[in-house]
Amino acid sequence: MSAISLTGQVALVTGAGHGIGRASALALAEAGAFVAAADRNAEGADQTRKLIESAGHAGAAVTVDVTDPDALDAAVADIAAAHGRVDILHANAGVLMAGTALTQSLDEWDLTYGVNVRGTFLTVRAALPQMIRQGGGAVIITASISGMIGEPSLVAYNSSKGALINLTRQLAIEYASHGIRVNCICPGWIETGFNDPVLGHLPPDELDQLIKQQVPLGRQGTAEDVAPSVVFLASDWARYVTGQSLVIDGGLTAM
């Protein structure tokens, strides 16, 4: 089979200033897409743009907070005005704060849901009208294996990521008739610093031992391990795939 090509397509990636978002933005650009790298951190978004362009591809930096619906609408409108379409959306922005039902503050709960659930909903909602007008598109939401299992001290994060998995299913059913596919990725332990609120207190040797006990492949994943799945789900190779949750966890949930 030929390599995946996204030549001529336009992608928007949120949370693209670091980690999985940055890696997926670079991978989408490598496959030929024009990539708008969006992040509330302007410096991070611009660094991703520079990495895309230094690799010989086309991209732009967008400063946007996914909790701001007007800013999201404006970002999508600007991309569509400049490029005529928005073919791919990777709704990736998220936060993680540790806490139990008795220790998680209401502010932390609200922020987690405000970014992870409401922010993802607002991001997708901003892109849907353009995708409907152009006759289709691919949406990839970053959920997590944390939305499939229960974990200690992650009451807000676990439940918010579970909500994203079912949001994926609902959107896929609702917009399939418009040629819009909606899937989510469910990464496991990915070494980006995102899990530091939960794992950062462990000494390196203890963390390594824990990973080897719980992950059959024996290591944490990297953002670059996740990015090819985003490219696949964005491409015509996944043209009959919608409403699905793709687990990328080194076998952790198979244990």
Per-residue confidence (pLDDT) for residue 31, from 0 to 100 = 98
Per-residue confidence (pLDDT) for residue 180, from 0 to 100 = 99
Domains along the sequence of the chain with CATH: 10-254 (3.40.50.720)
Compute the average pLDDT of residues 143-167: 97
208 pLDDT band, cuts 50/70/90, is confident
Residue numbers annotated as active site:
157
**Could you read off the pLDDT of 33-65 as tens digits, one per residue?**
999 999 999 999 999 999 999 999 999 999 999
Per-residue confidence (pLDDT) for residue 27, from 0 to 100 = 98
- Alpha helices by DSSP H, listed for the chain, are 19-30, 42-54, 69-83, 106-113, 120-134, 155-175, 196-199, 204-214, 223-234
For the cut 80, the answer to whether the pLDDT of residue 184 exceeds it is yes
**Could you read off the pLDDT of 212-224 as tens digits, one per residue?**
999 999 999 999 9
Compute the average pLDDT of residues 117-145: 98
Q: In the chain, pLDDT over 90 holds for what percent of residues? A: 90
Backbone angles phi, psi at 201, to 5 degrees: -80, -10
207 pLDDT band, cuts 50/70/90, is confident
Task: Please give the Cα distance from 155 to 133 (Å, whole number).
Answer: 39
Per-residue confidence (pLDDT) for residue 197, from 0 to 100 = 67
CB 163 within 8 A of CB 131: no
**Could you read off the pLDDT of 81-103 as tens digits, one per residue?**
999 999 999 999 999 999 999 99
Compute the average pLDDT of residues 6-20: 98
Residue with tokens 């080897």: 212
Task: Please give the Cα distance from 246 to 27 (Å, whole number).
Answer: 17
- For 36, the 3-state DSSP assignment is strand
Per-residue confidence (pLDDT) for residue 203, from 0 to 100 = 84
For the cut 90, the answer to whether the pLDDT of residue 204 exceeds it is no
